[in-house]
Chains A and B, each alone.
Chain A
Amino acid sequence: MQIHRHHLFWPLAMLAALLLFNLIYSPDFYSVQVRGGHLYGTLIDILNFGSPLILVAIGMTLVIATGGIDLSVGSVVAISGAVACLTISRGSDQGSIGLILAAIGLSLALAVVLGLWNGMLVSTIGMQPIVATLILMVAGRGIAQLITSGQIITVTSEPYAYLGSGSLLGLPFSIFVVAALFAAAGLLTRRTALGLFIESVGRNPGASRLAGIRSRYVLIAVYLFCGLCAAIAGLILSSNVSSADGNNAGLWYELDAILAVVIGGTSLTGGRFYLTGTLIGALTIQTLTTTIYMIGVPPEITLVVKAFVVLVVCLVQSETFRKSLAHRWKTRRYPAEREVAKHA
């Protein structure tokens, strides 16, 4: 098999190009120091700050594989952070482990409900996924603001802060959460028939129902999983800054997550998905953001760069575009032959 045909070739090439750029322009990008038993450095930061995005993108990959899309992840991120921080701030002893577990349990339970809601709308009622999740995207921000009463809730709880900014074996703890979830998703989809079910529902829901797959439950499960991923991302994000902001937490996350999935080679039409590709896609986006910070360009420019990346990736994926390019390339040197063909 040719190497550039492999589904991870383009995502990896893009990440490698970014890393190479950094090797030339900012060599201290690669320095990793050990301070007080913890590792410090840009690479570690990318993994740490990128972890919420990776989590959301993993959930989004499975949703997109069924031919759907989940626009509500940003709002779910905001809601879960808000619920957790509110629960902790109401407690008498903010440091107690029991309270933290209750807070985490509560926000995960709420995420299950929200995921079920999305899944039911798409599967039982049969709404288009864009519209079904749009409802929660609009209403969810309002709910998050109501929970926080429009203010930023800050908590002073060491065990909670550990989730997003603590470290284990010298590495940020969030990396382990991501690794666990990634492994779980990979095992569930590739070591059981579930992945095949998801892909078949994405390719043709009617045919898979006739083949005996309960498309309805597959769809609900996928949206539920996506909601859970978003909630865990929300917990990590809010624990990292020890506060919850209903307005800005998780803003634009849905777009970044979709971008990560698309860069990873998963097609938006559904029917095929690559979890590893998504992982690389999310890391690429985080590296891009960090690189832009490091070379001193105003960080707001990131949006323009992202716009071009989306467009280029989509053009490369578009068959029409590839064909027309390939045609140009093949006939580039034979104007005479073209003339002959024209008059033949």
Chain B
Amino acid sequence: MLKQKYLPIAVTVFLFVVMFLAGSFRYTGFFSLQVLLNLLIDNAFLLIVAVGMTFVIVTGGIDLSVGSVIALTTMISASLVQEQGWPPAVVIPLVLALGALFGWGMGAVIHYFKIQPFIVTLAGMFLARGLCYVISINTITIDDAFYQRMAQTKIHLPGGSFISISVVIAIVVAAAGIYIAHYTRLGRNIYALGGSEQSALLMGLPVASTKIAVYTISGFCSALAGVVFTFYMLSGYGLHAMGLELDAIASVVIGGTLLTGGVGYVFGTLFGVMIQGVIQTIISFEGTLSSWWTKIVIGLLLFLFILFQRVLSARQAAQKA
């Protein structure tokens, strides 16, 4: 018998399998390992962001700044590499540190001044987007050899399929996320904080440092996703990754994480991202459907999953009573 706490994840995985199989029966050439791997290749940056977002949402917060931080990262990378001629070996660690610092700053404001995460990260979103335009309002194309190589290298797998370097980074991030969440002290603190901040405080857990750490992780993940996004797009632009924060939140929720905090799995988020990828792929295979259906279907899925969570938590409450 499946434990009740794994039920949302099981539903997500089941839905993914059903959608993938449905696509395979409907379209020729859909059922292949490469289509499956393409889901990861095209959504590597989303996965990285969503892992960071999972931690934030598990503590009961939200981070709206992720899309803008990605744009800012692409912009800083492009301008330093392309216009200032800095080596990528310096630029990449620098942008990662900046992203983490940005997240740390927001976390500190949220915790010490007790302002809602929603509004602080909203300000962060404005700030990061605005800073992009301060650097330049145009696209900066990157033709640096290192970035080109990272974009084009294919890692061949047995069976003739391949993945990109971004996928490797994304999988490493997801694995690290699972490790931090379930096998470290920080992970336990995060879940405790999400369950009840008051109790966590009374238990003597380091609430301040945990909360700030969560936003730092999210900032770092966004910056890393920005680096991967730069590999993917080979340019820096202030309008990159518009609305990505919503895709990330949708992935996390579809992956079974409760927005009220305390419950959720990085593993579920992985499938939340994959489901969004499958929807995009099915719509592109269909050909006649406008790509705007993606947004509508994701909105609908979001609705169904939240409804499902409500029913589930109501049932649990009834059992306890």
By a beta-carbon cutoff of 8 Å, the part of chain A in contact with chain B is: 69, 121, 125-128, 130-132, 134-143, 145-146, 149-150, 255, 258, 262, 268-269, 298, 300-308, 310-311, 314-315, 317-321
Q: Which of A125, A140, A142, A317 is in CB contact (< 8 Å) with B310?
A: A125
Q: How far is the CA of A311 from the CA of B122 in the complex (A)?
A: 9
By a beta-carbon cutoff of 8 Å, the part of chain B in contact with chain A is: 62, 109, 112-116, 118-120, 122-127, 129-131, 133-134, 137, 238, 243, 246, 249-250, 253, 259-260, 290, 292-296, 298-300, 302-303, 306-307, 310
Residue of chain B at shortest CB distance from A141: B295
What are the 8 closest A-B residue pairs judged by CB atoms, nearest first?
A139-B299, A142-B295, A300-B133, A303-B130, A304-B130, A307-B127, A307-B126, A145-B292
Q: How far is the CA of A255 from the CA of B294 in the complex (A)?
A: 24
Q: Does the CB pair B296–A146 fall under 8 Å?
A: yes
Contacts of A140 in B (CB 8 A): 299
Q: How far is the CA of A306 from the CA of B128 in the complex (A)?
A: 11
Q: Does the CB pair B127–A130 fall under 8 Å?
A: no
Q: Which of B120, B130, B296, B303 is in CB contact (< 8 Å) with A143?
A: B296
Q: Which of B115, B238, B293 is in CB contact (< 8 Å) with A315?
A: B115
Q: Does the CB pair A139–B130 fall under 8 Å?
A: no
Residue of chain A at shortest CB distance from B124: A307
Q: How far is the CA of A181 from the CA of B180 in the complex (A)?
A: 52
Q: Does the CB pair A131–B306 fall under 8 Å?
A: yes
Q: A130-B62, A320-B113 are in contact. Are A139 and B127 (CB under 8 A)?
A: no
Q: Which of A137, A146, A310, A320 is in CB contact (< 8 Å) with B122?
A: A310
Residue of chain B at shortest CB distance from A143: B296
Q: Does the CB pair B290–A127 fall under 8 Å?
A: no
Q: Does the CB pair A146–B126 fall under 8 Å?
A: no
Nearest CB in chain A: distance from B105 CB, A: 10
Q: How far is the CA of A126 from the CA of B317 in the complex (A)?
A: 15
- 15 pairs from A and B in contact (CB 8 Å cutoff): A127-B310, A138-B299, A139-B295, A139-B299, A145-B295, A255-B125, A255-B126, A268-B116, A300-B133, A303-B126, A304-B130, A304-B131, A307-B123, A314-B115, A315-B115
Q: A301-B134, A310-B123 are in contact. Are A128 and B294 (CB under 8 A)?
A: no
Q: A298-B137, A315-B115, A321-B113 are in contact. Are A307 and B130 (CB under 8 A)?
A: yes
Q: A138-B250, A150-B290, A298-B137 are in contact. Are A314 and B299 (CB under 8 A)?
A: no
Contacts of B292 in A (CB 8 A): 141-143, 145-146, 150
Q: Does the CB pair A136–B253 fall under 8 Å?
A: no
